[in-house]
């Protein structure tokens, strides 16, 4: 194997899982690093009672055995979601959550699906009652006393600012202070789930073992990748330009880019980040809002939010490539089934249906695409690897 140049070694080191720092503090969530909150959040994450039909939990779409994705083109909860399920792994490092970045914290993200009619399909009034019934002690240990929800007139079983007409009507009839009491419980559910998710990080892969050996000048260890995979790696950090967006140890730059992925057949093109900007600015659960625990100075991402929506038409967040072989179908709505077809898309660089693609065609042979695919398959973590 020809040696890597010093610049290439620096790039490899930057992609290595060992370069992943501790996640940045989340000042918007005062229990982000509280183990008790994480234990409560973990229990709720897997609890299917937190749904309209009692069959959907966070883990329905974020399955641990599939790297916290679902193996589907588009997520399926109560109904079908328009986009593909993103992994939860490593999201403590994300300033923006979801493909369009419409949430700015893990806890705000966790609250979205709970009240989305196509996902959990519930409402915050229902969730507050579930916490009171099943998690009272754990909740109160972390967050203090629950409000007294016993008066069914003031605190209906179904109530929230959702599309369901019964819950919506009930919500509108509640006193503002009672609505706030329920929302406070709902927000704390999100913050507990976030405390659990904060600890979910991808594990080392064969690629990481390879880089570790290279950096330690351990020739034997540097056989962790095959010649074909190493050839793919050289393309990945070189002429294929993959690291423009898939950089850092999570293999994403956490930004938003238009790569001209075709829309789902018979559907309008997804506008992506251009709509996510307004959504996060007006989200009641953003870092600057009253449910956040942060001082506004600490809300760096949203304070310096780039809000010129027209520049982000059709732009989506580059997903992490860790475990990518296990997390198809690919792209924001599962438009492409196989890794090799994803690579063909990047080679061909078609024009975007909405906005302007940043891609330019790549002069890569079929053999080189196969090498890139082989490399991508080396990014799967070892189950139970220390």
CB of 131 to other proteins, least distance (A): 35
Asked if residue 272 lies in contact with residue 315, where contact means CB atoms within 8 angstroms, the answer is: yes
CB of 110 to other proteins, least distance (A): 23
132 vs 374, which CB is nearer to other proteins?
A: 374
How far apart CA 65 and CA 197 sit, in angstroms, is 15
Question: Cis omega (within 30 of 0) on the bond before 329?
Answer: yes
82 vs 239, which CB is nearer to other proteins?
A: 239
Q: Coil, strand, or helix at residue 336?
A: strand
169 vs 338, which CB is nearer to other proteins?
A: 338
CB of 252 to other proteins, least distance (A): 9
241 vs 289, which CB is nearer to other proteins?
A: 241
DSSP single-letter state for residue 381: B
- Hunting for tokens 């990047």 — which residue is that? 346
122 vs 355, which CB is nearer to other proteins?
A: 355
Binding interface with other proteins (CB under 8 A): 240-248, 253-257, 259, 300-301, 303-308, 311, 343, 346, 349, 356, 358-362
CB of 356 to other proteins, least distance (A): 6
CB of 104 to other proteins, least distance (A): 13
CB of 287 to other proteins, least distance (A): 13
Asked if residue 15 lies in contact with residue 248, where contact means CB atoms within 8 angstroms, the answer is: yes
User: Which residues on neighbouring strands pair with residue 80, listed in sequence order?
Assistant: 76
Tokens of 333: 């709505």
- Hunting for tokens 């909740």 — which residue is that? 139
163 vs 295, which CB is nearer to other proteins?
A: 295
Q: Coil, strand, or helix at residue 272?
A: strand
CB of 168 to other proteins, least distance (A): 35
372's enclosing H/E stretch is helix 366-377
Residues in the chain: 386
How far apart CA 75 and CA 354 sit, in angstroms, is 23
Angle among Cα 366, 376, 269 to the nearest 5 degrees reads 80
171 vs 330, which CB is nearer to other proteins?
A: 330
120 vs 246, which CB is nearer to other proteins?
A: 246
How far apart CA 115 and CA 110 sit, in angstroms, is 10
- Would you tell me the crossing angle of helices 6-15 and 206-215 to the nearest 10 degrees? 140
Asked if residue 283 lies in contact with residue 102, where contact means CB atoms within 8 angstroms, the answer is: yes
CB of 269 to other proteins, least distance (A): 18
């Amino acid at each position: 194997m020809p040696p890597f140049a010093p610049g290439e070694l620096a790039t490899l080191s930057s992609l290595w899982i060992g370069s992943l720092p501790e996640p940045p503090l989340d000042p918007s969530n005062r229990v982000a690093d509280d183990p008790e909150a994480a234990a409560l959040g973990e229990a709720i994450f897997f609890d299917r009672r937190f749904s309209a039909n009692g069959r959907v939990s966070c883990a329905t779409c974020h399955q641990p055995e599939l790297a916290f994705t679902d193996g589907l083109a588009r997520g399926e909860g109560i109904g079908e979601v328009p986009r593909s399920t993103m992994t939860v792994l490593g999201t403590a490092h994300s300033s923006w959550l979801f493909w369009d970045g419409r949430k700015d914290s893990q806890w705000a993200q966790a609250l979205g699906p709970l009240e989305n009619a196509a996902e959990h399909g519930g409402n915050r009034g229902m969730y507050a009652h579930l916490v009171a019934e099943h998690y009272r002690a754990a909740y109160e240990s972390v967050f203090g006393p629950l409000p007294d929800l016993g008066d069914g007139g003031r605190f209906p079983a179904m109530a929230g600012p959702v599309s369901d007409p019964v819950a919506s009507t009930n919500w509108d009839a509640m006193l503002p202070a009672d609505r706030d009491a329920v929302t406070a419980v709902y927000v704390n559910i999100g913050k507990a789930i976030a405390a659990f998710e904060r600890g979910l990080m991808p594990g080392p892969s064969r690629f990481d073992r390879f880089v570790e050996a290279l950096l330690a000048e351990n020739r034997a260890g540097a056989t962790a990748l095959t010649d074909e995979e190493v050839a793919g790696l050289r393309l990945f950090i070189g002429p294929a330009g993959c690291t423009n967006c898939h950089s850092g140890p999570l293999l994403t730059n956490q930004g938003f880019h238009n790569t001209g992925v075709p829309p789902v057949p018979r559907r309008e093109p997804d506008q992506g980040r251009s709509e996510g900007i307004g959504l996060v600015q007006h989200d009641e659960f953003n870092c600057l809002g009253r449910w956040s625990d942060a001082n506004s100075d600490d809300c760096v991402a949203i304070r310096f939010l780039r809000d010129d929506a027209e520049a982000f038409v059709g732009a989506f967040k580059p997903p992490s490539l860790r475990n990518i072989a296990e997390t198809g179908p690919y792209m924001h709505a599962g438009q492409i089934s196989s890794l090799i077809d994803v690579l063909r898309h990047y080679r061909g660089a078609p024009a975007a249906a909405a906005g302007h693609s940043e891609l330019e065609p790549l002069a890569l042979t079929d053999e080189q695409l196969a090498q890139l695919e082989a490399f991508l398959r080396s990014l799967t973590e070892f189950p139970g690897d220390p």
